[in-house]
Amino acid sequence: MSKNREYDYLIIGAGLFGAVFAHEATKKNKRCLVIDKRNHLGGNTYCENIEGINVHKYGAHIFHTNDKFIWDYVNSFVPFNRYTNSPLANYKGELYNLPFNMNTFHQLWNVKTPDEAKAIIDKQTKEHKTKRPTNLEEQALSLVGKDIYEKLIKGYTEKQWGRKATQLPAFIIKRLPLRFTFDNNYFNDTYQGIPIGGYNMLTNGLLNGIECRTGIDFFEDRENLSDLADNIVFTGKIDEFYDYSLGRLEYRSLEFKHKILRKSNFQGNAVVNYTAANIPYTRILEHKHFEFGNQENTIITEEYPLEASIKNEPYYPINDTKNTNLYKAYKEMSEQDQIIFGGRLAEYKYYDMHQIIGAALARAKKLLS
């Protein structure tokens, strides 16, 4: 290992994986340089402050975990508020609470007790339970029945995947939890919330005192940048790291249309899903409600699902057989290298924020102890 390089670690990507790793390495007196090709830090958690409102530029980010250690860790950088994710569904102007619970069942069928709700669901699922589901539609019908499927699942899922539910594999929906209590809290985790002042406070806390350079794409100056440090942590796309030599890994993407509205409150909730097929977007976010804002104006974001393409931002890995095998081949290749690959793009895996923090802490512990 060279002794005269400027840094111990070059960390490519200033998302949560890179930021947590850099923080832990710096605590161990390692010299770190963090670079990111975007013009800001924070990766997908980045918020742009517009009109005093923290706008989640890359989609709604709600922190939730069951792990007290991770919760205390993030709260040591910034306190979190008491935001509880309780999305609504709008189906042709009718509003339903999510996740499916006694409020939803009351709105659908005017039932008031769990027994009444169960009786309807049992009746509607019975006829679909006999045969093995061959596609997503059959699977959903056997789990929740016709009414919930048609109003709250079908259109949304078809928009999300860009394909008919009858052409989607059944395994996409493994379970559809039904809650027979009046509880609109989307997550079952013990802890959840949004950093007070927004996610940039968390990023800034993690990266405080660490040298960071934005607007720098590793691949545009690969050799010189690699020469700067003894070790490289790479959190970008693993297929890009190997020049797509085995082919491209595919991702579903999203387009975000942000709008400033000259009114104080548009939909009264941070997240509203649009479940009918004729509305092109899947959700509208109203950002001020993540932080109980009372600004004069409001900012909303419509989320439009997009096909995987080279031009689109990579958001959700498509873990089908073809892509899974391709990732395995890249992973094998990476095992010959000294590079530390981590994060959602390098591991081609959907991770929630608490999971990525856990993964970065574990990796740092292993490598730095």
Closest approach, Cβ 39 to ligand FAD, in A, equals: 10
**Annotated catalytic, 175?**
yes
**Annotated catalytic, 222?**
no
Active-site entry in 283, 286, 291, 344: 283
Under 8 Å between Cβ of 19 and 200: no
* Residue 44 or 97 having the CB closest to ligand FAD: 44
Across the beta sheet with 211-214, what order do the strands follow? 211-214, 32-36, 7-12, 229-234, 340-341
**Annotated catalytic, 363?**
no
Geometric angle at alpha carbon 314, from 49 and 165, rounded to 5°: 110
* Residue 101 or 235 having the CB closest to ligand FAD: 235
Active-site entry in 240, 252, 281, 315: 252
Under 8 Å between Cβ of 82 and 243: no
Closest approach, Cβ 356 to ligand FAD, in A, equals: 4
- Residue ranges that bind ligand FAD, judged by CB under 6 A: 12-18, 35-38, 43-45, 58-63, 217-219, 235-236, 254, 315, 343-345, 351-354, 356
Closest approach, Cβ 58 to ligand FAD, in A, equals: 6
**CA 232 – CA 153 distance, rounded (Å):** 43
**Annotated catalytic, 315?**
no
Closest approach, Cβ 241 to ligand FAD, in A, equals: 8
* Residue 144 or 271 having the CB closest to ligand FAD: 271
The CB-side HSE value for 250 (13 A sphere, CA atoms) comes to: 14
Active-site entry in 175, 220, 223, 296: 175
Q: Retrieve residue 269's tokens.
A: 């909730």
Active-site entry in 179, 189, 217, 316: 179
Active-site entry in 48, 217, 302, 352: 352
Closest approach, Cβ 65 to ligand FAD, in A, equals: 8
Antiparallel, parallel or unpaired: β 88-91 and 271-274: parallel
* Residue 13 or 195 having the CB closest to ligand FAD: 13
**CA 361 – CA 206 distance, rounded (Å):** 12
Beta bridge partners of 192: 64
**Annotated catalytic, 352?**
yes
Q: Retrieve residue 42's tokens.
A: 């924070």
* Residue 198 or 236 having the CB closest to ligand FAD: 236
Active-site entry in 158, 291, 303, 347: 303
Under 8 Å between Cβ of 207 and 41: yes
Closest approach, Cβ 189 to ligand FAD, in A, equals: 10
* Residue 44 or 104 having the CB closest to ligand FAD: 44
Task: Give pairs for 88-91: CB < 8 Å, separation 24+.
Answer: 88/269, 88/271, 88/272, 88/273, 89/151, 89/152, 89/156, 89/272, 89/273, 89/274, 89/275, 90/272, 90/273, 90/274, 90/275, 90/276, 91/151, 91/152, 91/155, 91/275, 91/276
C-alpha distance from residue 57 to each of 256, 257, 301 (Å): 8, 10, 9
**Annotated catalytic, 262?**
no
Question: Hey, which residues are catalytic here?
Answer: 175, 179, 252, 283, 303, 350, 352
